[in-house]
Structure 1
């Protein structure tokens, strides 16, 4: 009896390693998930995509077995953190305002059959794909669980590599309180017929700092800086800026991935940010908090630097705010010396975030270990599929001696060369 053919979109698992020996044949490792694109003939050959490498090619069904679909446990419907089939963008919207440990679980849209654990920290929302392997669930292929409830209970006890430990489930729509909605600090509004973003600054020290810089900030005009339209002082400080419809760079990358955002797009984003920072440098302004979370994407997919209104002039004064350790240069951490060169260090970290599609830098490294290891010369490895030349650019930003780091002008020149090379990729 002939075997039933697989329909396009069927998820299959590789039974063993296979290295292609013929042109247009697909390579894969045991356990890799392949998605069937179409049947090539009636002899069991298919065109498929390796979900891990994103490569396409021919494969014989002899090397594959149909993947068992994960069936949604009926008990999940009773779990307040399970939101069903919602997009990554919707998950980010639901997890607002961000706070450490707030989380939800959704069904993956891009990878049918998988789940995604969405975890909020004070600064961002991280998306962790939960894959089905050997009849168990895993995020890191180190810890395995029989079901989602067991997985959630584990990460509520220990972060184990997540951005933070799970502490508070985000209730499904229809059960959230009005108080949660009122606690939002960033909202959309309309000014002179145009959409604008309004951000409330609650910290008195930060608000005062911003007010002192307002006259300078409103005069800054550059295509790669989020335009500051003004401020409103009324029972607090509200910053009014142009509306950036595609959100911050971290979430933009995580909700789209390699299939949508190409190498050329990444290089262009890097150039956009570099040009904005070069302009700030020309005005003798230091950002101090340059990171992918502070880069916003416009409707035209232009990357713009935001939150530069809290930037300061070149200074060695002690900063009262808590420093973002993973992004801050050693001399700024140890001696509180901020300069354009410390911004360049942060830009190198941002490039790593960019080319790793929104991963948190220094994964699985505690802040205490991180500071010590960086002092001793540790630098992050090249992100998967990132050109070596771009990684070398990152490393040049991470020179321990600030004087050896490149200027934003030099970084821009080198990225432009990378952009020209990508035209032929």
Structure 2
């Protein structure tokens, strides 16, 4: 059997296409650099669940991590699709590292498919916003969070990757997470990400409609799953909705179901109102959610517009954090060791303080191999 090498996998014949690279449903070998021995994994409480994966707090050696366990599926077709998605996600995570992307630690394929990443104390951006309601973020803070997201997206796009599912946490898709001090937002979950070179192969099976660009769906694609061409500008649209949400701390398209919001955006060109915002912010948002994808700015332009607003605002409001103006758009080295930040253990009453985590018995985390 002939083989070709595409970091971090060795890929073999009988292949399945996914994005630019071709992933084999039958055999692929993780690069040893990223391979995690299951004996070093200990599984703690579940912190999220979706249709095809569960996420647990866990430990890898002495590091507290997030352990994403992907269901293999029941049919051969499902198994092949999940393995290809797993290969794609690990490949993207391993080669694209950035200060505003959740750090990749490693993965393993047996006994089940597992992706291990850093685990953050700050929880999800959505939970942070919900706890603030009916209040709102200070505008400079909201724009600072938006800048974190834009920098992460600029990094992805510079590698030809479209995220397609940019939004605050919804169900298991915890796409926007926060550091312990609640000062920095990091982008996570590459499960729906695609490489841009084969966008004509993409379909409308993406994230939540409320945040999705209109070109990702239509009544035909929703009904028939028709393949549809689009490009990286779908992420600019989603970013506009997220920025609007950060500034208003309200659900976009409030009062509408997801499908009603999708129909209104795609066929009536309806958008949330930005009339109450300063002109500079309204311009950023409305330019990003324009109906014509080609008229939307790229993330390098978005970053410059956000920085200009913050700089102008800082002249009258010196409370704008100095870190905002520092260049954080640094791609981390491929062998970055990840982080030792922790997330509090959860129970039915909410988050448990970090100090209590240290008092837990050593048997609190179950050996991964005992579970699987």
TM-score, length basis structure 2: 0.60
1:306 matched residue in structure 2: 188
Measured in 2, the distance between the counterparts of 1:342 and 1:96 equals: 29
Map 1:352-371 → 2, pairs under 5 A: 352-357=244-249, 359-371=250-262
- 1:272 partner SS: helix
- 2:269 partner SS: coil
CA spacing shift, 1:214–1:367, aligned 2, 3 Å: closer
- 2:132 partner SS: coil
Measured in 2, the distance between the counterparts of 1:408 and 1:288 equals: 14
The alpha carbon displacement at 1:417 in A equals 1.4
Write the deviation string for residues 154-206 of structure 1: whole angstroms up to 9, x where unpaired.
Answer: xxxxxxxxxxxxxxxxxxxxxxxxxxxxxx92221222422211122236534
The alpha carbon displacement at 1:263 in A equals 1.9
CA contact (8 A) 2:176 2:187 kept: yes
2:56 matched residue in structure 1: 187
2:113 matched residue in structure 1: 237
Structure 1 position 263 matched with structure 2 position 155: no
- 1:289 partner SS: coil
Measured in 1, the distance between the counterparts of 2:56 and 2:151 equals: 27
The alpha carbon displacement at 1:406 in A equals 0.4
CA contact (8 A) 1:292 1:353 kept: no
CA contact (8 A) 1:263 1:422 kept: no
- 1:188 partner SS: strand
Measured in 1, the distance between the counterparts of 2:285 and 2:82 equals: 30
Gaps of 5+ in 2: 1-44, 74-78, 170-174, 219-226, 318-372
CA spacing shift, 1:235–1:336, aligned 2, 3 Å: farther
Larger Rg: 1
- 2:143 partner SS: helix
The alpha carbon displacement at 1:96 in A equals 6.1
Map 1:121-160 → 2, pairs under 5 A: none
| Structure with greater helix share of residues | 2
CA spacing shift, 1:349–1:260, aligned 2, 3 Å: closer
RCO higher in structure (CA 8 A, sep ≥6): 2
Gaps of 5+ in 1: 1-93, 99-121, 124-183
Measured in 1, the distance between the counterparts of 2:93 and 2:176 equals: 17
Structure 1 position 321 matched with structure 2 position 205: yes
The partner residue of 1:208 within 84, 87, 111 is: 84
Deviates more, 1:339-348 or 1:214-223: 214-223
Aligned residues: 248
2:68 matched residue in structure 1: 199
